Structure formats: structure tokens, C-alpha cells
Amino acid sequence: MAAEATYRRPEIRKDATHNRWVIFSQARALRPSNFKSKSDANPKSNNQSECPFCVGHEHECAPEIFRVPADSTSDWKIRVIQNLYPALNRELNFPSCPSDSSHWSGDVAVSGFGFHDVVIESPVHPVHLADLSPAQVGDVLLAYKTRIDQLRTFDSIKYVQVFKNHGASAGASMSHSHSQIMALPVVPSAVSARIESMKEFFEQTGKYSDKAVDLGGLLKLMLVKMSLQLNNPPFNFMIHTAPLQVNPSQVPSTHWFLQIVPQLSGVGGFEMGTGCYINPVFPEDGCESFERSPH
């Protein structure tokens, strides 16, 4: 952690060609991995003695933000901590312009101010999110909400992305069950485009998800079904929300949702070039077999 001082400060630059932000952060290069290789579903070791996220190893982690229950000691259920190799820098006295941009010929760059947290979802190594009870899964979702509400108080934070990587080929470097929260000083253009697109869809159809559901139970059900039917695939999930300062005209069409993406096949140059995806399964066929499955 002392080494952090020698990093170049992170920076966020606009890629003018693709109209998207890119975060440059040297700290990210140093993060360890406890998977043998990208294709391995199984980590190097399930040995608590090597994992900083396991109970009893709290001192090997970056500082804690809060734990659940709040007054717990070694009987904690969830810990929200700082990421030890953050993509963004949480120091508020950070200059608002990049210090050295002499090499950089682009037009837009902002300092890499922001927050990058880790949510440890279970105190013990082999227990994954899908193994928790519906109420415990609900507590993880509530921990996200609590942290988002804290991050919302910073005027300069414009968007919060909650996401989970499960399995090495879904990008995970740590096998202990966890998710991450990143708070950004910019609104990603994919987010603005999504908000705009949902607004259009809403105006044309009047449709949006209007059901209040027991989300902890539903998320557990989805994770268990996916694990059983697709043989515990690597997956990502993302919580898509509105930007923190949302335009009031967009309120009726803006709702948050959770997207789960199992990694069944990779992507290639076509998807990278066009942003279009190719899917060998029509959704109505996929739904049918999903609905028929045991639960």
C-alpha cells in the first residue's frame, strides 16, 4: 500500500473517435490473481490462509468502509472495503486537471478522482452469492444501496457502477465471492445512450418494468438456475441505474435494473467493431427451457 505514492495519478480521457471515456491507472497493473488461468473455473487454492477477503485476514485488505452487521466483530457477514489497486483515486484534494498532459493530444481529460470499492459478500471462501439465503442476498443488495447513498453526497460524482465478476474468464482476479462499486466523475456515454433510448422506448410504448419484486429472492433464484442449467458458468452482473443528477424529463422512463451475463461464448472482432452481438439462441427458445427447469 505504501507503493501507491509512486504511481502516476490516474486520469480519465475521452477517446474522441469512439466517444467513450478511458481510465488510465497504473495501480491496476499490480493486482494479484488467484486463478491459475483465464480458462480455469477453479482458483489456485481455496485455502483461507492465502485469501485477504477471508475472515481473519481483514488486516491484509485496504481500509474498511463499513461492515454488516454494523457492530459485528469476527462474525461479520458482509464487508465493504476500499480496493487496494484502485482505478480511481479517492483523495478529494486531487487537482481537477491532469498534471502532465504534454504528450496527450486529445481534447478532453479529467483527473481520475473517484471511488473504487470491493464488497466482500461472505466471510468464508467457498460460499458464493448463490449459496446465500434470499435474505442474505438481499443484504448484499442493501449494502450496495447504502454505499450508493454515501457516494451520492459527493457533488462531483456523476455515476455509480455496481458490478460483479464471477470466474476467471468473466474477468475475476479474486475467487472469493465479491462484487465492486465504482463511482465516476463523468457519465459514461453508454449510460447516456441507454437513458436516451429508454426514454424513446417509453414515449413510444408507455412500457417499463413496474413490478416491485423481492429482489434478494429473485436474484438467488436466477443465480441458482443459471448455475444448475449452464453448469456454473463464469458470469458478470451489472446494476444499471440513472446518472446521479438525472434530467427530470427522463424520470418516468428511468428505472434501475440488474443485468446478468453468463459467459457462454466469447466475443470477437465483429462485436468489438460494431457493438452488435451474435446469439445462436433465440430468446423465446431460451426462455422456454429456462421456465421448464426445476427450481
Ligand X SMILES: Nc1ncnc2c1ncn2[C@@H]1O[C@H](COP(=O)(O)OP(=O)(O)O[C@H]2O[C@H](CO)[C@@H](O)[C@H](O)[C@H]2O)[C@@H](O)[C@H]1O
Residue 250, judged by CB atoms within 10 A of its CB (0-12, 13-18, 19+), counts as middle
Q: How far is the CB of 66 from a copy of itself (least distance, A)?
A: 22
Query: How far is 95 from 127, CA to CA, in rounded Å?
Result: 42
60, 196, 203, 214: which one binds a copy of itself (CB under 8 A): 196
46, 156, 189, 250: which one binds a copy of itself (CB under 8 A): 189
Q: How far is the CB of 54 from ligand X (least distance, A)?
A: 11
The region that residue 206 occupies, defined by phi over 0 for left and psi between -120 and 50 for alpha, beta otherwise, is left
DSSP single-letter state for residue 17:
T
Reference 176, options 224, 237, 123; nearest CA is: 123
97 is in an annotated binding site: no
Q: How far is the CB of 288 from a copy of itself (least distance, A)?
A: 9
Could you list the residues that contact ligand X (CB under 6 A)? Answer: 31, 52, 60-62, 81, 83-85, 118, 165, 171-174, 180, 265-271, 278
129 binds a copy of itself (CB under 8 A): no
Q: Which helix (H) or strand (E) holds 46?
A: none
Q: Three-state DSSP class for 136?
A: helix
65 binds, among a copy of itself, ligand X, none (CB under 5 to 8 A by kind): none
83 binds, among ligand X, a copy of itself, none (CB under 5 to 8 A by kind): ligand X
156 binds, among ligand X, a copy of itself, none (CB under 5 to 8 A by kind): none
Query: How far is 191 from 240, CA to CA, in rounded Å?
Result: 8
Task: Give residues 18-47 in contact with a copy of itself (rule: CB under 8 A).
Answer: 18-29, 37-40
Sign of the torsion angle spanned by Cα atoms 139, 141, 146, 150: positive
Q: How far is the CB of 47 from ligand X (least distance, A)?
A: 15
276 is in an annotated binding site: no
- Give the HSE-up count for residue 291: Cα atoms under 13 Å, Cβ half-sphere: 6
Task: Give residues 202-221 in contact with a copy of itself (rule: CB under 8 A).
Answer: 204-205
> Residue 280, preceding bond cis, omega within 30 degrees?
no
Reference 225, options 141, 171, 143, 291; nearest CA is: 291
Catalytic residue among 116, 166, 178, 240: 178
Query: How far is 172 from 179, CA to CA, in rounded Å?
Result: 10
Query: How far is 230 from 223, CA to CA, in rounded Å?
Result: 10
Task: Give residues 51-80 in contact with a copy of itself (rule: CB under 8 A).
Answer: none
273 binds, among a copy of itself, ligand X, none (CB under 5 to 8 A by kind): a copy of itself
104 binds a copy of itself (CB under 8 A): yes
Q: How far is the CB of 211 from a copy of itself (least distance, A)?
A: 15
The yes-or-no answer on residue 18 being catalytic is no
Task: Give residues 140-169 in contact with a copy of itself (rule: CB under 8 A).
Answer: 159, 161, 163-165, 169
201 binds, among ligand X, a copy of itself, none (CB under 5 to 8 A by kind): a copy of itself
- Catalytic (active-site) positions: 178
